[in-house]
Chains A and B, each alone.
Chain A
Amino acid sequence: ETGVTQTPRHLVMGMTNKKSLKCEQHLGHNAMYWYKQSAKKPLELMFVYNFKEQTENNSVPSRFSPECPNSSHLFLHLHTLQPEDSALYLCASSQQPNYGYTFGSGTRLTVV
């Protein structure tokens, strides 16, 4: 596979569930990102990992917990989410300090 792969593509979960989103990049990039995309809002940066180290946490609630075990994989662990957390969650990677992110296709999350 090439590019950035996200699984699952769709996820429906209850507010008491625990689930994880997975992202894998096959580009040899050294930085990975989680973004949240809600209707009629700009893309919201959630977390940034450079060389597996978290360099940014954009005031994201603790019910979202990222994990970056190596430079190719990124997870977003979810627990006790709220309905307003329903959104498209996008993973991206880049080769810092160069520019231009490559995005995955996203996970459409619905919290019921």
Chain B
Amino acid sequence: GQQLNQSPQSMFIQEGEDVSMNCTSSSIFNTWLWYKQDPGEGPVLLIALYKAGELTSNGRLTAQFGITRKDSFLNISASIPSDVGIYFCAGQLNGGSQGNLIFGKGTKLSVKP
């Protein structure tokens, strides 16, 4: 089946640092979504991207829909402690059964000891 390769799997951040993560796929998607999941909670939608090349910001978060429609990245600028959590990318094709989201395995953000 379709798979998304999300990297890195985990990373440690120091407050104030910028963070970058990305997702790639062998399939073309019409929509890319980025979610964050806090411990014990469900994923929460951060950013949705609907057009190739689209660059969208949500506060300190910026995400881009790759031109090839096979990749997306998420940047977090000036990280703060509450940014820790697991970030998931998700891709979606058209409606029907193909409209279901395909999720990456997640990038776990932790604070540097």
Identify the A interface with B (CB < 8 A). Answer: 4, 6, 33, 40-43, 45, 48, 55-56, 90, 92, 96-97, 99-106, 108
Contacts and interface: CB of A to CB of B under 8 A. Distances in A.
A99 B33 contact: yes
B42 A42 contact: no
Nearest to B45: A100
A105 B95 contact: no
Nearest to B50: A99
A100 B103 contact: no
Interface of B: 3-4, 31, 33, 35, 40-45, 48, 50, 88, 92, 94-97, 99-101, 103-106
**What 7 pairs across the A-B complex have the smallest Cβ distances?**
A103-B42, A97-B95, A43-B103, A99-B31, A42-B105, A42-B103, A103-B43
Contact of B48 (A45, A90, A100): A100
Given A42-B103, A45-B101, 15 more contacts: A43-B88, A45-B100, A48-B97, A55-B96, A55-B97, A90-B42, A90-B43, A92-B42, A96-B95, A99-B48, A100-B45, A103-B35, A105-B40, A105-B41, A106-B42
Contacts of A108: 40
Given A48-B100, A97-B99, A99-B48, A40 B105 contact: yes
Nearest to A90: B42
A31 B3 CA distance: 23
Nearest to A106: B42
